[in-house]
Chains A and B, each alone.
Chain A
Amino acid sequence: MFKNAFVFALVSSFFSFAYGQKFTLSGYVKDSASGESINGAIITALNTAESTTTNSYGFFSLTVKSKKQEFRVSASGYEATTETIDLSNNVDIVFSLLSTIETFEEINIRAKLNDNIKKIDISTQSITGKVIKKIPAFLGEADVIKSIQLLPGVTTVGEGASGFNVRGGSIDQNLVLMDEAPVFNSAHLFGFFSIFNPDAVKDVQLVKGGIPANYGGRLSSVLDVTTKDGNQKQPSLNGGVGTIFSRLTLEAPIKKNRSSFLISGRRSYIDVLAKPFLPDNLSDSRFYFYDLTAKVNYSYKRDKFFISTYIGDDVFFAANAFGVKWGNTTVSARWNHVFNKKLFSNLTYYYSRYRYNLEFSNNDDLSFNWTSYIENNSVKADFKYYLNPKNEISTGFQSTYYVFKPGNAVATNPSGTNNFSLPHKYALENAAYISHDANANGKFSVRTGLRVSQFLYLGKSTVYTYNDAPSPGQRRFMDSSWQVGDNEVISNYVNLEPRLGFKYQINKTSAIKGGYNRMVQNLHLISNTSASVPFDVWSPSTNNIKPELADQYTIGYFRNLTIKKQDFEASVETYYKDLMNQVDYVDGANLLLNEQLEGELISGIGRAYGLELYFKKNTGNLTGWISYTLSKSERRVYGINDDNWYPNRFDRLHNLYIVAQYKLNEKWDFAANFVFSSGTPTTFYTGQYTVQGYSIPDAGTNDRNNVRNPDYHRLDLAATYTKKKAGKWETNWVFSVYNAYNRRNPFSIYFQTNYENKGQNEAIQFSVIGSIVPAISYNFKWN
């Protein structure tokens, strides 16, 4: 009944389609070898040139008039196929595509795709797990986040810093999703590795602009990581032994073509290797991280079910001194249902938690224990209605309940315990959206969307109000406080988030695309350090912290080229972003275990703009890309930098990334990356004075970030030797060199007093990686 009413509502708003005899071709596009669904494949009816794109579950629906005709199915990284289908009825079908990476001989003869020209998506980049694995990486470990840091518009504050910055946004402004569940800290070992196990990752999509209405909650980007469903056809095992960790992934059908699972784990063994070198009192120390990704799926007629989970932790435990542990846990359960050939739905429930624990103890009667977490439960429904090839409608809603535990801290000492714990905070976030794609893959397409979000900061809690600061940028002190009861609304923010995207296809090989999005963010990572610390705390919007807002405008020109029978993709994009209610901090802010944290926060505005050039070679033995970004990211906060604009800590003017992969023969693959980034801004001390015997540095003026650190550049190389497949076994060795020409790239330059040298001040250049880092890893695959 509901179904009919829903369809009727949609139909009545788009009555223009109801003429002629039309039938619907719907179904899935899958990888022929593993049965994995393919996201973003294009299905084109060749007669009418009408086309559609598979959604993130590989589903498509295309309604066309003519009865018998040819359909072409294409997807990046796959052979395009053409099939003749008689549409005298509605037809359900599964298209299977052959991966080009496996059939390297045929790459040169495959049909040109021009997918990027056809699709309306702007500022969107996808990388598959297979490509990620080919990029040379730190210590030979392929890495999702490190790979997207090579895309235009993406920068990082430096090596070893967790997260990434997209188009001048801070790291907490990226919505990082793993099978629909948000991840609050995507870093292992501070930031050297990301938590996504590349063996378990199917594809990764980064949306930097023109963000569609189904996404919300963060200002700058969406990084949507989809894990593999698990091989539907046959069992397969793959894994590797690397310099820093080992991996193992098992995937297999439970019931062929109907149900399968994947389980994948990694663990580092630095502690095991380091043990012989540690002094006795530290030999019980543990330093490791691990993660476990598991997924199971089941299809039955028009329904598909997925349950996926991720558990990962970093553990640093020095015997008798301190212990640190942090990690994410996510669980998501999804149900895809195809109501009729044209209406696809997905219902998701997820749970996601990021928590950390810190403890110090030097003997039995002295200890300090601190735990903190952010936890959320969410229900989300998404519908996509494929009205006709010219009109596709997406709609949905989401409701998320958050629990914040900013810090539970207890210190024990010989004379008792001190409790520094802060109370929990609670919030409920609701959102609904609708989005319409007009003529999605046609010549002129428009995507209009609207999202409405509501954020309720709820009790039980102590609510504070603060006095005005004596002057801008200064600490505010508590004015009054009162208690509110369970689920009582303390503040309620409702925001409208319009979204717009358009594409004008000039010809088969070129297009102009543009986009606008307003984004709203109600979760704020409270961090004033140059690289985010795992102990940074997330705070909801409260009566004192307003939601962050961003408006982004972007426009770009996309062009595909064929030079000497080789396919190239080129694009030029530019963007401008306005950011409001950005969180900043008073000088010397006390952000940890502070009940009156809000008094330490100040608010400012930001702006970011830039130009991104991207040139990619898709075919041939040599593939890869060149990406160049010219960008600026600035902030203005009253009370900082004499109220003038100043560059953000992660602002980098020039960013050049070159990624090249060369297949010499069936045995040898070579790869190289080159990265150049302008130095990040910093503030230098210029003077000093002494008060009460303390030597105090002085910058002279109040300028912030007025000096640049030296430029960053690095070359990485890798060679892969693949042994001939022996029976079901396939193995390869990866030899890699990170920082090949041994540059000491400075992360920062800081100033300090050297007490050993009679209080002489000195400048210290700190490099996170100060040497060349070679690595070997061994990978195997059985199927």
Chain B
Amino acid sequence: MNHIKKLMFLSLSLLLFSCEDIIEVSVDQKQVKLVVDAFVNNLDTTQTIRLTRSIPYFQKSGTEPTVTDATVIIADTSNLKVFPFTHTQDGIYTWTPNKSTGDTFVVGRSYALFIIQGGDTLISITKLNPTVNAIDSIITVPTEGNGPPIAGPGKYIELHANDLPGKGNFYWIKTFRNDTFYGATRNLNISQDMGNTSNGQDGELFIYPIRFNALNEFFRPFRDGEKVRIEIHSISLESFYWFNLIVNESNNGGLFSTPPVNIQTNIFSFNPNKKIGIAGLFSMSAVRYKELIIKE
């Protein structure tokens, strides 16, 4: 839908006299929030959780203060097994799974996150949902055309993977080019079942905007020898709407804007009277991935 709005907007500016000016606005940051970046997955690699604090809107990002004195724990709610995350540096807390001791996250189970910091205890519970059964392939698509989503002739990529059968599966599809993640919000690629609406078909190939457009839009074509990596993360319904809001808020201006909203977190304080602000998300994913080297 954002594309539709954008195009309408474009056609409108083409015809008329609209203009956009970057202006100075002085805003006082109303509340500094504790920001929890807790995206954990079931891969064998070291898992990280990062704690920072929010900064004024016009301050350069990357300058967020870090929170280094917290106790961070994930617990398996089925057997109360505890996985402690320890602080390494810059507010980053890590834990490494160990298959031999059975210290891994299991698909289908619910996990609780506890953070103890500054005399307050925060909690969040989420479920580790299954992801797609397999990624069949990443294929290269040589294209001659021009115009969105394609930026000139060259090689583009397409993801071939099927949505899990049954409704109510949500995915976050992460694409890396030469190990660099497509990090801008405009490239955020999420899917509800095989498409981005609730009434699409189910269990088949992801729809075209998800398996093609989102992987290529805003980018130059791939060059020979470049490496592509695609990860499909299962996410919860809650996380899906959280991502949706990020997409919406990152591009929400002009005639057809919706009221700006605060993106709500799924992490809560045990002490409801102590109104500390919390932002961020606790999300657990099962991951499948595939890599491809672009060849001639």
Residues of A within 8 A of B (CB): 158, 160-161, 189-190, 192, 270, 274, 281, 287, 316, 318, 320-322, 324, 358, 360, 362-363, 366, 411, 413-415, 418-420, 422, 475, 528-531, 533, 535, 585, 587-590, 592-596, 649, 682-702, 704-705, 744, 747-753, 755, 758-771, 773
Contact for A688 among B5, B16, B54, B264, CB less than 8 A: B54
Are the CB atoms of A530 and B256 closer together than 8 Å? yes
Chain A to chain B contacts (Cβ below 8 Å), 25 pairs: A160-B12, A360-B3, A366-B208, A585-B258, A587-B262, A592-B1, A596-B198, A649-B259, A686-B27, A688-B56, A689-B33, A690-B37, A691-B37, A691-B39, A691-B279, A694-B184, A694-B250, A699-B30, A699-B260, A700-B33, A700-B277, A761-B57, A763-B25, A766-B254, A770-B19
By Cβ-Cβ distance, the 10 closest A-B pairs, closest first, are A700-B30, A770-B19, A750-B253, A693-B183, A413-B208, A587-B261, A700-B31, A689-B54, A588-B245, A763-B25
B255 surroundings in chain A (CB, below 8 A): 158, 160-161, 190, 529-531, 747-748, 766, 768
Q: A749-B25, A763-B24 are in contact. Are A699 and B262 (CB under 8 A)?
A: yes
Residue-wise interface mask of B (202-225) relative to A, using a CB-CB cutoff of 8 A (1 in contact, 0 not): 000101100010000000000000
Q: A324-B8, A363-B145, A698-B279 are in contact. Are A687 and B21 (CB under 8 A)?
A: no
Contact for B197 among A420, A699, A766, CB less than 8 A: A420
Tell me the bound Cα distance from A682 to B263 in angstroms: 17
Are the CB atoms of A687 and B11 closer together than 8 Å? no
Tell me the bound Cα distance from A363 to B39 in angstroms: 39
Tell me the bound Cα distance from A535 to B8 in angstroms: 11
Output the least CB separation between B114 and chain A (Å): 19
Q: A701-B30, A750-B253 are in contact. Are A688 and B57 (CB under 8 A)?
A: yes
Output the least CB separation between B30 and chain A (Å): 3
Are the CB atoms of A418 and B201 closer together than 8 Å? yes
B245 surroundings in chain A (CB, below 8 A): 587-588
B252 surroundings in chain A (CB, below 8 A): 750
B153 within 8 A of A: no
B248 within 8 A of A: yes
Q: A595-B198, A694-B185, A767-B21 are in contact. Are A687 and B57 (CB under 8 A)?
A: yes
Are the CB atoms of B258 and A690 closer together than 8 Å? no
Tell me the bound Cα distance from A420 to B23 in angstroms: 41
Tell me the bound Cα distance from A674 to B211 in angstroms: 53
Output the least CB separation between B242 and chain A (Å): 9
Residue-wise interface mask of B (228-261) relative to A, using a CB-CB cutoff of 8 A (1 in contact, 0 not): 0000000000000100111011111111111111
Tell me the bound Cα distance from A498 to B200 in angstroms: 46
Tell me the bound Cα distance from A46 to B89 in angstroms: 96
B52 within 8 A of A: yes
B32 within 8 A of A: yes
Are the CB atoms of B8 and A362 closer together than 8 Å? no
Are the CB atoms of A270 and B15 closer together than 8 Å? yes
Question: Which of the candidate stretches B58-66, B99-107, B121-129 sits at the interface with the other chain?
Answer: B58-66
Output the least CB separation between A138 and chain B (Å): 10
B20 within 8 A of A: yes
B173 within 8 A of A: no
A270 surroundings in chain B (CB, below 8 A): 15
Q: A324-B8, A595-B198, A762-B22 are in contact. Are A753 and B250 (CB under 8 A)?
A: yes
Output the least CB separation between A226 and chain B (Å): 31
Are the CB atoms of B61 and A695 closer together than 8 Å? yes
A596 surroundings in chain B (CB, below 8 A): 198
Are the CB atoms of B260 and A683 closer together than 8 Å? yes
Output the least CB separation between B233 and chain A (Å): 10
Are the CB atoms of B55 and A744 closer together than 8 Å? no
B5 surroundings in chain A (CB, below 8 A): 533
Q: A687-B55, A688-B57, A751-B57 are in contact. Are A422 and B256 (CB under 8 A)?
A: no
Q: Which partner residue on chain B sits nearest A160 by CB separation?
A: B255
Are the CB atoms of B29 and A362 closer together than 8 Å? no
Are the CB atoms of B183 and A533 closer together than 8 Å? no
Tell me the bound Cα distance from A249 to B175 in angstroms: 59
B260 surroundings in chain A (CB, below 8 A): 682-685, 697, 699, 750-751
B199 surroundings in chain A (CB, below 8 A): 420, 422, 593-595
B79 within 8 A of A: no
Are the CB atoms of A528 and B259 closer together than 8 Å? yes
Tell me the bound Cα distance from A697 to B58 in angstroms: 10
Q: Which partner residue on chain A sits nearest B207 by CB separation?
A: A418
With A686-B56, A748-B254 already in contact, 15 other A-B pairs whose C-beta atoms are closer than 8 Å:
A358-B4, A413-B212, A530-B256, A530-B257, A530-B259, A595-B199, A686-B28, A690-B37, A691-B281, A693-B183, A697-B260, A700-B29, A761-B58, A762-B58, A764-B21
Tell me the bound Cα distance from A691 to B246 in angstroms: 10
Q: A320-B147, A686-B28 are in contact. Are A753 and B257 (CB under 8 A)?
A: no
B257 surroundings in chain A (CB, below 8 A): 529-530, 748, 750
Q: Which partner residue on chain A sits nearest B30 by CB separation?
A: A700
Tell me the bound Cα distance from A696 to B245 in angstroms: 10
Output the least CB separation between A21 and chain B (Å): 66
Tell me the bound Cα distance from A192 to B149 in angstroms: 30
Q: A689-B54, A747-B254 are in contact. Are A418 and B18 (CB under 8 A)?
A: no
Are the CB atoms of A529 and B7 closer together than 8 Å? no
B280 within 8 A of A: yes
* Most chain A C-beta atoms within 10 Å of own C-beta, residue among B56, B195, B255: B255
B35 within 8 A of A: yes
Are the CB atoms of A688 and B39 closer together than 8 Å? no
Tell me the bound Cα distance from A160 to B281 in angstroms: 38
Tell me the bound Cα distance from A759 to B30 in angstroms: 22
Are the CB atoms of B259 and A705 closer together than 8 Å? yes
B272 within 8 A of A: no
Tell me the bound Cα distance from A190 to B62 in angstroms: 40
A324 surroundings in chain B (CB, below 8 A): 8, 11
B184 surroundings in chain A (CB, below 8 A): 694, 755
Q: Which partner residue on chain B sits nearest A592 by CB separation?
A: B1
Contact for A689 among B15, B19, B147, B279, CB less than 8 A: B279
Q: A684-B25, A684-B27, A755-B184 are in contact. Are A594 and B15 (CB under 8 A)?
A: no
Are the CB atoms of B253 and A687 closer together than 8 Å? no
Are the CB atoms of A594 and B197 closer together than 8 Å? yes
Output the least CB separation between A735 and chain B (Å): 18
Output the least CB separation between B287 and chain A (Å): 14
B17 within 8 A of A: yes
Q: Which partner residue on chain A sits nearest B182 by CB separation?
A: A693
A190 surroundings in chain B (CB, below 8 A): 8, 12, 255
B148 within 8 A of A: yes
Are the CB atoms of A588 and B248 closer together than 8 Å? yes
A413 surroundings in chain B (CB, below 8 A): 207-208, 212
Output the least CB separation between B106 and chain A (Å): 23
Are the CB atoms of B250 and A588 closer together than 8 Å? no
B57 surroundings in chain A (CB, below 8 A): 685-688, 697-698, 751, 761
Are the CB atoms of B198 and A535 closer together than 8 Å? no
Tell me the bound Cα distance from A535 to B4 in angstroms: 10
Q: A362-B147, A748-B254, A766-B18 are in contact. Are A701 and B31 (CB under 8 A)?
A: yes
Tell me the bound Cα distance from A530 to B188 in angstroms: 25
Are the CB atoms of A692 and B37 closer together than 8 Å? yes
* Most chain A C-beta atoms within 10 Å of own C-beta, residue among B149, B188, B212, B252: B252
Contact for A418 among B145, B195, B261, CB less than 8 A: B195
A694 surroundings in chain B (CB, below 8 A): 183-185, 188, 246, 250
Tell me the bound Cα distance from A744 to B19 in angstroms: 8
Q: Which partner residue on chain B sits nearest A688 by CB separation?
A: B57
B23 surroundings in chain A (CB, below 8 A): 749, 763-765
A769 surroundings in chain B (CB, below 8 A): 16-18
Interface positions, chain B 47-98, Cβ under 8 Å from A, are 52-62, 64
Are the CB atoms of B147 and A698 closer together than 8 Å? no
Q: Which partner residue on chain B sits nearest A532 by CB separation?
A: B256
A690 surroundings in chain B (CB, below 8 A): 35, 37, 52, 61-62, 64
